[in-house]
Amino acid sequence: MTRILLLGGTTEAGQLARLLADAGVQAVFSYAGRTAKPLPQPLPTRIGGFGGVPGLVEYLGSQGITHIVDATHPFAAGMSRNAIDASRLTGLPLIGLERAPWVRQSGDDWTSVTDFESAAASLPGDGSGVFLAIGRQNLASFLGRAHRWMLRFAEVASHPLPDATLIVSRGPFSVPGDTELLRRHDIRHIVAKNAGGVAAQPKLTAARALGLPVVMIDRPRLPARRVVALPEQVMAWLHGAERGV
């Protein structure tokens, strides 16, 4: 019998969870636990880490998992690498559900960098307003730099950076809303992870219209694996696996 481990954390993971539940497929939805109040899912849910690759391998065996779906955030590289290693060690099939990255458009002023340290180093250090649209896990690289920071989190959190303004809001966002936000806080630069998707894209459209430069952090590189972009494609893959295709 098919039993899925769905490693979630994205909008697409939630969409896939609904498809699995509606189809009556046995599955477990796994959250990393970085959000205190994650969105409810229509599947049995577990929260927290596995204890690295050995813990994940043990969990897969003890729970009778037959397939792994990695629908984590494109920047959750540690979990994705663990899933790849666990799939290799157990022989269980793995598929990544990964949204396409954002692509530079006409009128965009982007500087592409490979990591957070390079993103911090690319800022002018002139005290201007910067929208750090990178979540709360990777802020250390920006400590001690002379800027007014604006952060936007889905939940209330302490200010991890001096001179930081915290906006508590959960997407999806809108172009008018993000345009007004950037103007109100006199933002001169945006630092963003290339997460892709539509929910957080309005800040880039707003930046384009306002002529604001964006420092875009490339996605981390992962070992080769099967990847699709849509939840429906995962369902088709599972259907093919059940038929031995």
Report yes or no: 171 and 188 within 8 Å, Cβ to Cβ.
Answer: no
Residues 193-236: tens digit of each pLDDT: 999 989 899 999 999 999 999 999 999 999 999 999 999 999 99
Cα angle 160, 32, 92 (rounded to 5 degrees) comes to: 150
Least Cα distance to 171 among 73, 84, 241 occurs for: 73
Q: Provide the pLDDT for residue 245.
A: 45
pLDDT value at 83 more than 90: yes
Q: How far apart are CA 229 and CA 239, in angstroms?
A: 17
Least Cα distance to 144 among 116, 158, 118, 125 occurs for: 125
Task: Determine the longest span between alpha carbons in the chain, in angstroms.
Answer: 61
Q: Please, which residues bridge with residue 228 across strands?
A: 97
Report yes or no: 30 and 46 within 8 Å, Cβ to Cβ.
Answer: yes
CB-based contacts of 125, cutoff 8 Å, min separation 6: 145, 146, 147
